């Protein structure tokens, strides 16, 4: 049992279900405040290490109000897209692990801001923009073959979108340090570090380690001649695909359907729930 399982058994009851719904709500409230009174927002609600050390503890939480975009159209896109990602991760991980992943990132931002201030005397403006982008990395790791319509037009698999997201984060880290925008670079670095720490320490990255990949490939070569391709263990109730149709396919049972209905990752969150009567 790894550390995540131990924590979940002990503190799982305190997890916030539908976390992304609340995060999106905070984004919307923050957007309204920022548009209505930007001076008040930046003066009293942002993450300011100096102010926190002087007693304005509420900033540890209110900086979560910072909207991911100040453009209404892109904010709406963010809300729809990240709500679907958050729901999918919560179904896959459970509420506790999604809570832990997100709030560990929040904690790292706060601690980093305070440490930087104590060491340099500088206040960096941190938002949760890159923390939200790290959710995309997590989703791409969990559902690499899931396909979406990028900007509602271009079909693209999540593994490619996650790679683009990771590359973008790395580029912004470098550009920020070159241009002297250390706050942006540090926020991106913290979010990327949170993703790596969470996945490596929870052993979710183990299937992707070179030794594991080679071992899995050799095992498949050894057992393939003796396996009966007609015998399947998993089958999607919508498209009929089985594990024989692709080694990257993931199958899950739906807890909302009445009966033992199993779906692939492309239909797990898009199918119509089956009810008796």
CATH number of the domain to which 60 belongs = 1.20.1540.10
Check residue 215 and give its pLDDT.
55
Check residue 186 and give its pLDDT.
78
From 140, 174, 206, the end of a domain falls on 206
Q: What is the pTM of this model?
A: 0.66
For residues 135 and 198, state if they share a domain.
yes
Check residue 80 and give its pLDDT.
85
For residues 131 and 258, state if they share a domain.
no
Locate tokens 């960096």: which residue? 124
Check residue 209 and give its pLDDT.
46
Check residue 227 and give its pLDDT.
47
Check residue 151 and give its pLDDT.
63
For residues 135 and 243, state if they share a domain.
no
From 140, 172, 206, the end of a domain falls on 206
274 inside domain: no
For residues 191 and 234, state if they share a domain.
no
276 inside domain: no
Check residue 214 and give its pLDDT.
53
Domain membership of residue 250 as a residue range: 227-264
219 inside domain: no
User: 230-251 b/e with 16+ CB inside 10 Å = b?
Assistant: eeeebbbbbeebbeeeeeebbb
Structural domain tally of the chain? 2
Please list the pLDDT of the chain residue by residue as tens digits (277 residues): 466 677 778 888 888 888 989 999 998 999 999 999 999 998 899 888 889 999 999 998 998 898 877 888 888 888 888 888 888 888 878 888 889 888 888 888 888 888 888 887 877 777 777 788 888 888 888 778 877 766 667 777 888 888 888 888 888 888 877 877 676 777 788 888 878 877 766 554 444 444 444 555 565 555 554 445 556 778 888 888 888 877 778 888 887 788 778 888 878 877 787 876 5
For residues 134 and 259, state if they share a domain.
no
For residues 127 and 259, state if they share a domain.
no
β-pair type (251-253, 262-264): antiparallel
For residues 115 and 156, state if they share a domain.
yes
For residues 195 and 248, state if they share a domain.
no
- Taking CA atoms, 127 is separated from 132, 136, 141, 225, 259, in Å, by 10, 17, 24, 54, 44
For residues 160 and 103, state if they share a domain.
yes
115 inside domain: yes
39 inside domain: yes
- Taking CA atoms, 13 is separated from 8, 20, 67, 96, in Å, by 8, 18, 29, 8
272 inside domain: no
213 inside domain: no
């Amino acid at each position: 049992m790894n550390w995540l399982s131990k924590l979940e058994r002990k503190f799982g009851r305190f997890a916030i279900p539908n976390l992304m719904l609340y995060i999106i709500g905070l984004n919307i409230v923050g957007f309204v405040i920022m548009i209505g009174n930007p001076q008040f927002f930046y003066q009293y609600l942002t993450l300011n290490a100096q102010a926190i050390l002087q007693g304005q503890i509420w900033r540890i939480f209110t900086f979560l109000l910072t909207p991911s975009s100040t453009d209404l159209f892109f904010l709406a896109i963010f809300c729809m897209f990240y709500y679907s990602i958050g729901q999918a991760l919560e179904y896959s991980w459970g509420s506790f692990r999604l809570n832990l992943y997100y709030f560990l990132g929040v904690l790292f931002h706060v601690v980093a801001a305070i440490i930087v201030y104590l060491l340099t005397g500088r206040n960096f403006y941190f938002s949760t923009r890159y923390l939200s982008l790290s959710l995309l990395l997590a989703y791409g790791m969990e559902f690499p073959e899931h396909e979406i319509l990028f900007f509602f037009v271009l079909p693209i698999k999540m593994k490619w979108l996650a790679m683009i997201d990771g590359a973008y984060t790395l580029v912004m880290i470098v550009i920020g340090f070159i241009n002297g925008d250390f706050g942006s670079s540090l926020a991106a670095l913290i979010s990327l570090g949170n993703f790596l720490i969470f996945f490596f320490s929870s052993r979710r990255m183990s299937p992707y380690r070179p030794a594991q990949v080679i071992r899995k490939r050799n095992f498949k070569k050894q057992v393939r001649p003796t396996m009966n391709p007609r015998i399947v263990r998993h089958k999607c109730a919508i498209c009929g695909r089985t594990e024989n149709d692709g080694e990257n396919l993931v199958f899950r049972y739906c807890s909302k359907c009445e009966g033992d209905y199993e779906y692939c990752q492309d239909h797990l969150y898009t199918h119509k729930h089956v009810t008796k009567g």
